[in-house]
Amino acid sequence: MVAIMSTVSYTARGKSISITLCEGVYEPAEDSFLLLDSVRCGRRFLEIGCGTGLLSILCAMMGSESEAVDINPVAVECCLENARNNGVHVRAYLSDIFDGVNGFFDTIAFNPPYLPVSESIEGAEQWSGGEDGFSATRRFLDGLPGHLEDDGRAFLVLSDLTDINSLIREYPGMEFARLDSRTFDFESIISYEVRMLR
């Protein structure tokens, strides 16, 4: 049973979305909204780390066949509940990044845990990207060729607290296009579009 904290309404691309915030599930924050503004929903859309399902629900409203995965089973239930409440179908299921995912998508989005810290406390998987901030991001990028269509696009958020250029150099078979950013007191977060160079 999902413990409901509150319900919040968002407007994105002319669509009104009602999101139930669930205990233990990452609440939409600035990085979520940056990704929301950056993603161009495709025909077949996959969201990795869906949390409440805000982005997957928006893409379903925009006509995408939406799939959403999360490592947190409570997030999967929360996403399914929010999709039902908004009158759209999102196929949400448990997966550690691509581990449980089958098939190819023209659009894949991921708001990874990107802070360069190593935390072992419960819930740290929502923000801790390991020592260099890229532990989950690397697994995402490594899995892209097996799930992104040839002309597909992936979207992700990175932090300038990490060495983004070194990450990009690790993937010469991919093109990273900077899209947008948000700046705070101590960091900037940046959205990127990633395409495979084939």
CATH of the domain at 88: 3.40.50.150
pLDDT tens sequence across 12-26: 989 999 999 999 999
Q: What is the DSSP letter of 104?
A: -
Instruction: Please say if the pLDDT value at position 152 is more than 90.
Output: yes
Please name every residue paired with 160 in a beta bridge, in sequence order, or none if there are none: none
Angle at 81 (CA atoms; ends 80, 84), nearest 5 degrees: 85
Alpha-carbon dihedral angle through residues 30, 32, 36, 37, given to the nearest 10 degrees = 20
Tell me the mean pLDDT in the region 26-31.
92
pLDDT tens sequence across 122-150: 554 544 444 665 878 999 999 999 999 99
Tell me if 197 sits within 8 A of 43, measured CB to CB.
Answer: no
User: What range does the domain containing 72 cover?
Assistant: 4-196
Instruction: Please say if the pLDDT value at position 63 is more than 80.
Output: yes
Domain count of the chain? 1
Would you state the pLDDT for residue 4? Answer: 75
Would you state the pLDDT for residue 190? Answer: 95
Would you state the pLDDT for residue 198? Answer: 75
| CA end-to-end span of the chain | 45
pTM (predicted TM-score): 0.90
What's the chain's average pLDDT?
90
Q: What is the DSSP letter of 128?
A: B
For residues 56 and 36, give the distance between their C-alpha atoms in angstroms, rounded to a whole number: 9
